[in-house]
Amino acid sequence: MPEFDVERGFDKSTENQQICPGAPSLRRPGCKFDRMGNDGGSNHFRVGETVALRYITRNGKPGMSWPFRVVSDTEDLVALHIPAGATYARWGRSLSPPLQRASLEPKTWRREILRLMYPGRNHSIWLFWAEEEGEREFSAYYVNFEEPFRRTPIGFDTNDHTLDIVVTPTLSWRWKDEPEFEERVRQGIYTPELARMIRKEARTVVEAIERCEAPFSDGWEKWQPDPTWEVPVLPEGWDSAPAMQWEDRVKAYGDARG
C-alpha cells in the first residue's frame, strides 16, 4: 500500500483509482446528495452552519479544536466539512525540556476533509481530497477511533483514541498508530476495557471495508461543498464553553488524566 500522510495524502504514483464495485453511479461530480440536510429537530444544526469540533481533555478542558461547516445533521449521521486553509487550535510545545503540551496555538489546516460521525459509535470516518494538477481529487478514507461525540451549543465534543485505519480509494487498508495504541494500554492510559471496546469497533469497520458496505459504498467521494461557503472560523466560546464529558470516561481511562 502507498504511504499515507495526513498533510499530503497517498503517493498517487502507485495508487489505482478504481472505486468500489457496486457503488451508486447516480452521484456525479459537482452534485450534492439529495438526502442531505437536518431533520428539523431543535437540537440539530442547520446545513452550512459553522460549529466547533473539540477534543476534550480528561480533566474536562477544551483541547485541539476545529471549525467545521455542517453538511448533514440527522438522527443517524453528522457530516462536517473543513477546507484547506481554515485556522484551527492545536497544542504547542514548551521550548525547554522535557517537551510537553504548553498551550493551544492557531495553526492552518492543510487538507480538505469531510468527517462522518455516527451517534453512539466509537469512530468517525474522514474523507480526504487533494489538489492534483489543479483538479480536486479524492485521495483517502481515514477511520479515526474516538469517544462517541456529544452535542454542545456550539458544536460537538469528543476525544481521540490513537488507533486509526487508513483506507485507499480502492479499499485496501492498513492500521495506523497500532503500536502507540498498545503502548497506551500497557501504560494504563487506556484501560483493558476500552482496548476491548476499540478492537471490537475496529473489527466491524474492517468488515464494512472488506465487504464494500456503507459508508464506503455510498458515493461520498463524489460529494462537493457548496461553492458559496466561506472558510469557517472557530465560533465564539469554543475555548470557554463548558465541555460535555464522556459518561464512560472513568471506565475507559481509570485514574488517567490529561
The predicted-structure confidence for 209-232, as pLDDT tens digits, reads as follows 999 999 999 999 999 999 999 999
Is it the case that residue 21 has pLDDT exceeding 50?
no
Least confident range from 83-97, 137-151, 153-167: namely: 83-97
**Residues 47, 38 contacting (CB under 8 angstroms):** yes
The answer to pTM > 0.95 is no
Specify the higher pLDDT residue, 93 or 15. Answer: 93
Share of the chain above pLDDT 90, in %: 75
pLDDT of residue 100: 60
Q: What pLDDT shows up at residue 204?
A: 98
State mean pLDDT over 88-103: 73
Of 32, 61, 176, 200, catalytic: 176
- Is 107 catalytic? The answer is no
Q: Indicate the class that CATH gives domain 18-230.
A: mainly beta
